[in-house]
Amino acid sequence: MNRHQKEKADEASGPGRPTLKTLAFMTGLGVTTVSRALKDAPEIGAETRRRVQLVAKQIGYRPNRAGVRLRTGKTNVISLVLNTEHEIMSFVSDIIYGVSEVIADTPYHLIVTPYSRSQDPLDPIRYLVETGSADGVIISRTQPNDPRARYMLERGIPFATHGRTDMGLIHPYHDFDNYAFAAEAVRHLAGLGRRRLALLAPPVELTYHGHTLAGFADALSEVGASEIPFNTVSIDHSIEQIRMRTAQLMRRESRPDGFISSAAAATLAIVAGIEDAGLKLGRDVDVVSKQSSELLHLFRSELLVVNENFRLAGAELARSVLGWIGGAAPGTLQSLSEPGEVQAYRRPA
Amino acid sequence: MNRHQKEKADEASGPGRPTLKTLAFMTGLGVTTVSRALKDAPEIGAETRRRVQLVAKQIGYRPNRAGVRLRTGKTNVISLVLNTEHEIMSFVSDIIYGVSEVIADTPYHLIVTPYSRSQDPLDPIRYLVETGSADGVIISRTQPNDPRARYMLERGIPFATHGRTDMGLIHPYHDFDNYAFAAEAVRHLAGLGRRRLALLAPPVELTYHGHTLAGFADALSEVGASEIPFNTVSIDHSIEQIRMRTAQLMRRESRPDGFISSAAAATLAIVAGIEDAGLKLGRDVDVVSKQSSELLHLFRSELLVVNENFRLAGAELARSVLGWIGGAAPGTLQSLSEPGEVQAYRRPA
DNA sequence: GCTATATACTGAAACGTTACAGATTGTCAC
DNA sequence: GTGACAATCTGTAACGTTTCAGTATATAGC
């Protein structure tokens, strides 16, 4: 037994997980051949290929991620970048599950990269890109002129945004049609005879703030209703602040008779504020709200809701990033989710 | 210039991120010396050490994760294993932020490893251990005799559980004192004159089901109240099912005058069921519920709440796992979080 | 002046993978 | 029989890191 064979035997008898070397020893082939056979390279004989793949499956071979990553630079990691203060709670949970669903039968792992209020949102992105920690990135809280998207485009790292940008640059995104949501909400309220509508919008810096406002404004003039300004707070404000501002607004003579809310948690605060002012939901005022889980109707059956599916969003975003990594054109990886109808509560059977 | 120096120069002039080789070239030292200088090894001269560390900081050197991982087997990854169907929504979000908070200034990354209803809960754990994908694991939905904990103990991989086991084996955990919660809730309801109490418990298979039931039972006999059985549903059941069962129960002659609920979402369903039966919260029945975010009081001001802080749990769990990885004794990494008092709603100023 | 010993540093090897540049066959044309 | 060529396989090097086994120099002991 020469030195070479001894080494191979040592390796194969070791208790650790199998490597290409183990497979090479077992099949009697070279490491290179095994490597190529496993990835269906054309210059490997059909029988050899089948044999190697069979043995690999039998002994449960799994490529070592560190080896692949070191050699090729491919991390097989998707990073989801989240704000630790301002993400909607169900957004975090659902988008993670949506992404997971899609990457489940791929070699990808999902890492969560959080950043806090105090940090520059660009920080985590720079970290990821500079350390080459991920093959693809998903970001939320997208802005019209988003430095993160710009940065990643410059650096050529695949990403997808939840929400659109408006910089004339092309990249994958998934978005909910908030223009349509706001417009539909206005029309629905108008249909109920409401004429003086207030909007609790997303924070100004995010792109969908603009979409929401546009849908709101266009539909207002379409139905001939008017806006009661309510822009001292956004859905990013605390429950207490929204509640207080709502109560203040509702005590004024020129109070709204309809609300549109872009987030479910904020809607709870609006309703509390309305009731603080001694008014009654459904009688004095109607509220249309987006929600991502079916809870608002339990809260107050008078609420009118439109559902936004974050799990779907996560799945779409993951598909987009994987698509881009796989070489698809970024422009073909954009999707917009249309809102369903405004739903009133229906008593269960 | 000999072959060796040429290589070094090539490397140093390259556009990629700096490696140990880059640092070695810049400082005129060997790669080995640089490596040891960066980790404060004792056999490196004090001045050399400072010099290397200075240069490393200046050019923003960051160790290549794949290199470290391949050489040492250390992944610098913590995996959070989550069920995609039954985790409480805010649990996912908060625990991720709690973990992130703790690992923020460490080299650790957080990967989320989900598993679905159909899967054996052991599957994702096996995958992580077999592929060596993480240095530490955090699991939730802990059972008294938990095969996952047993498996990881056998394999010697550090982990922490959210909730305790009861197998006579020692491992890090963080738990909320659900015995105390249930007991306090009973006492509070008794203090309000409620004598016939129903408990919406966690699913039977989880350890804290037992804790909750024990606290409930002990306090019942302590205050001389009686139990109205309500064990056809658990907090894992759907909102609709809980609502229906609650309504059924409340229409019976022997209906409870007090509820204790182990989860906020389930509480919404209980309240809906109570109201479906034509009864009124605070008058006909009182409800004490755990919650992880301050929303229940907005929902119905009559609700009585006890807060459970999942963000804290995430932080504790992360600290435990890191501690175990760092060599601390598993038995010293266990913590129990005591519930605060039962809180009634106080009108804001 | 010599050996022993501590101090400060270094090259080579290895972790598991893939890419490059061959090497060995067999087949076919002529 | 020879050269060309395709088909199939192989060894070596490299990715960036740490560990092992040194090497060189200075200091101390006597």
B96: contact with A, CB 8 A cutoff: yes
The pLDDT value recorded for residue A15 is 64
| Percent above pLDDT 70 for chain B | 95
A265 contacts in B (CB within 8 Å)?
295
CB-CB under 8 Å, A112 with B112: yes
The rounded distance, in Å, linking the Cα atoms of A306 and B26 is 60
pTM: 0.94
CB-CB under 8 Å, B132 with A240: no
B89: contact with A, CB 8 A cutoff: yes
The pLDDT value recorded for residue A256 is 97
Query: B137 with B110: CB under 8 angstroms?
Result: no
The nt closest to A22 (CA vs C1′) is: C16
pLDDT band for B100, please (50, 70, 90 cuts). Answer: very high
Q: What's the mean pLDDT in A108-126?
A: 94
Nearest to A246 by CA among A287, A304, A209: A287
Is residue B2 predicted with pLDDT exceeding 70? no
Q: Is the CB of B42 under 7 A from strand D?
A: no
Nearest to B335 by CA among B174, B178, B166, B158: B174
Residue type, B343: Q
B62: contact with A, CB 8 A cutoff: yes
Q: Is the CB of A30 under 7 A from strand D?
A: yes
Which H/E stretch holds residue A78? strand A77-83
Give the residue nearest to nucleotide D16 (CA to C1').
B67
Q: Using CB atoms, pick whichever of A60, A97, A268 lies closest to residue B298.
A: A268
A126: contact with B, CB 8 A cutoff: no
Counting one residue from chain A and one from chain B, the pairs whose CB atoms sit within 8 A come to 116
The rounded distance, in Å, linking the Cα atoms of A182 and A213 is 7
pLDDT band for A87, please (50, 70, 90 cuts). Answer: confident
Mind listing the pLDDT tens digit for each residue in A291-319?
999 899 999 999 999 999 999 999 999 99
Closest approach of A255 to chain B, Cα-based (Å)? 22
The rounded distance, in Å, linking the Cα atoms of B250 and B260 is 14
Q: What's the mean pLDDT in A98-122?
A: 94
The nt closest to A41 (CA vs C1′) is: D8
Query: β-pairing, A136-139 with A159-162?
Result: parallel
CB-CB under 8 Å, B130 with A62: yes
CB-CB under 8 Å, B87 with A17: no
Least confident of A115-119, A259-263, B112-116, B216-220: A115-119
The nt closest to A45 (CA vs C1′) is: D8
Residue type, B137: V
Tell me what the pLDDT averaged over chain A comes to.
Answer: 93
A94 contacts in B (CB within 8 Å)?
89
Q: Cα–Cα distances in Å, from B288 out to B186, B192, B209, B213, B269?
A: 9, 11, 17, 15, 13
CB-CB under 8 Å, B84 with A97: yes
